[in-house]
Amino acid sequence: MKSSTKRSMLTAVMICGLTAVSAVALAQDKDAVLKNRESLMKGQGKDLGSVKAYIDGKGDQAQAEAGAANLTQSTRKIPDVFPPGSGGPNSDGKFAAKPVIWSDWNKFIDAQKNAVSKADVLFTAVKSGNKTSIETAFGDLGKNGCGACHETFREKLKD
């Protein structure tokens, strides 16, 4: 066999091998992104729970304030956990990110900024200790922040 043919075959084998390794690495990266995304969202649920507990008289203000403070930070991280190509179901297969996140990124960012704004209002309300203000801000974040984003950008796959 000519050396140029050997080199061509070796190059082809190396390209195939690198492509396979790259595909595995991308799948592992996507899995890590999905896990990070789910972790962020579950953390937000826990933080909302600490505020709700305070509203309901089952938790203290310090815990609610910590949860609200976390929300002001975690809502800012949302775009980071939705890089292009990271669609797919969560770990229990019940929900997935809709492709519109990436096809209409600006709309997604507007929804995220809206959630950030509402989380900031909630944090201010929790710091005040005024339960009526907290309850109003909590409901607004839930319905018009988190809920609005989920309604537009999250797909329910199964019950």
Looking at per-residue confidence, does 63 or 91 come out higher? 63
Collapsing DSSP states into helix, strand and coil, what is residue 56?
coil
The answer for residues whose C-beta is within 8 angstroms of residue 23's C-beta and 6 or more apart is: none
| Of 122, 148, 156, nearest in space to 54 by CA | 122
Tell me the residue length of the chain. Answer: 159
Residue 106 one-letter amino acid: N
Q: Cα separations (Å) of 29 from 26, 84, 116, 148?
A: 5, 12, 27, 28
Structure-token pair, residue 61: 């203000």
- DSSP annotation of 156 reads E
Give me the sign of the Cα torsion angle 71, 75, 76, 77.
positive
pTM, two decimal places: 0.81
Collapsing DSSP states into helix, strand and coil, what is residue 113?
helix
**Residues β-bridged to residue 155:** 96
Query: What does the pLDDT average to over 87-98?
Result: 92
* Residue 4: predicted pLDDT: 63
Query: What does the pLDDT average to over 17-22?
Result: 40
H helical segments located in the chain: 3-55, 61-74, 100-103, 105-128, 131-140, 147-153
Give the domain CATH number at 115: 1.20.120.10
Distance from C-alpha of 108 to C-alpha of 95, rounded to nearest angstrom: 17
* Residue 16: predicted pLDDT: 47
Domains of the chain: total: 1
Query: What does the pLDDT average to over 121-133?
Result: 98
In this predicted structure, the answer to whether residue 61 has a pLDDT above a threshold of 70 is: yes
**C-beta neighbour count of 64 within 10 angstroms:** 28
* Residue 158: predicted pLDDT: 80
* Residue 109: predicted pLDDT: 98
Q: Which domain, by its residues, includes 37?
A: 3-156
